[in-house]
Amino acid sequence: MTYVIALPCVDVKDRACVDECPVDCIYEGNRMLYIQPDECVDCGACEPVCPVEAIFYEDDTPDQWADYYNANVDFFDDLGAPGGAAKMGVIDKDHPLIEALPTQPNPSPDTHVRFRANGPAAPYTAVMSISDTHVRARPSGHPGRADLPGLLSIGGLAKLTRVSPRSLRYYEEQGLLVARRTEAGHRRYESEAVDRVLLVQRLFAAGLSSADIRPVLPGMIDDAHCTEDLVTELREHRDRLQQEVERQLDTIDILDEVIEEHSAHAG
């Protein structure tokens, strides 16, 4: 799985994403940037900084831009995995899909300003348009990036919790984490998601499965949902773990006996 750059980047190319990518895998063509799928480490850092919401997690790419997955992949057919975009500079080509496009009515990169928010709640980079020409000039069908302001992107949540975007998407699949979606389809999280993810991790570390965690999570997050049943379920889980540990200790005892017998023969 990888991230994909789609149509809104064409003729914008402000390179905000390049500054964020920890592995330098976003390469510049003549009219658009392209993510090298084998080099992308799926960190999600580039997605929230794009001023025109051109970057999507592969599975979240809107249907009308589905071809951009192949455009990103095919761009590297003759380049392979160069191992860093900086040394390549501007690569003098584009994918045929992009070459065939008329000039896009996107704003000049000068109409955007980037800033890095500080403080524990928002140690991520945000991008804002400083001109409403951005909104007017957006390609038709593109929803813009003003919805759900102030929420965490998946990359931001991953950074705060040190849980990979891949795991965060798995938590969501398992019903352990809820993401809101921007109009463009990007995941956004309330700040409470940080505590929730840390708690889920702790419960996984305590040996609970997703199925174990799902019913007890609401009561652990919100005292109002904390019932005697929750405590009982956790105690039962502890008892099962205790039984498992005792069973393993018995197994070790038997193995020790066998080792001793064979050591005597071997000696």
Residues 88/27, Cβ–Cβ less than 8 Å: yes
Cβ distance to ligand SF4 smaller for residue 152 or 203 = 152
Among the candidate windows 15-23, 68-76, 131-139, 168-176, which touches ligand SF4 by CB under 6 A? 15-23
Told to check if 157 binds ligand SF4 by CB under 6 A, we report: no
Cβ distance to ligand SF4 smaller for residue 126 or 203 = 126
Single residue of 14, 138, 197, 203 touching ligand SF4 by CB under 6 A = 14
Cβ distance to ligand SF4 smaller for residue 21 or 203 = 21
Single residue of 7, 54, 73, 197 touching ligand SF4 by CB under 6 A = 54
- CA dihedral for 44, 62, 84, 38, sign (positive or negative): positive
Q: How many residues does the chain have?
A: 267
Told to check if 163 binds ligand SF4 by CB under 6 A, we report: no
Among the candidate windows 7-15, 81-89, 194-202, 244-252, which touches ligand SF4 by CB under 6 A? 7-15
Report the C-alpha gap between 53 and 145 in whole angstroms: 6
Q: Which two tokens stand for residue 145?
A: 């990036």
Told to check if 85 binds ligand SF4 by CB under 6 A, we report: no
Q: How far is CA 220 from the centre of its chain?
A: 25
Residues 6+ apart with CB under 8 A from 96: none
CB count within 10 Å of CB 2 equals: 17
What's the Cα-to-Cα distance from 80 to each of 30, 76, 77, 97, 255, rounded to whole Å? Answer: 18, 5, 6, 19, 52
Single residue of 4, 7, 45, 217 touching ligand SF4 by CB under 6 A = 45
Told to check if 25 binds ligand SF4 by CB under 6 A, we report: yes
Told to check if 17 binds ligand SF4 by CB under 6 A, we report: yes
Closest C-alpha to 2, from 16, 21, 15: 21
Query: How many residues bind ligand SF4, per CB under 6 A?
Result: 28
Told to check if 23 binds ligand SF4 by CB under 6 A, we report: yes
Report the C-alpha gap between 54 and 5 in whole angstroms: 5
Told to check if 55 binds ligand SF4 by CB under 6 A, we report: yes
DSSP for 96-134?
HHHHTSPPP-PPPGGGEEEEE--STT--SEEEEESSTHH
Single residue of 3, 27, 76, 189 touching ligand SF4 by CB under 6 A = 3
Residues that bind ligand SF4 (CB under 6 A): 3, 5, 9, 12-17, 20-21, 23, 25-26, 33, 35, 40-46, 49-50, 52, 54-55
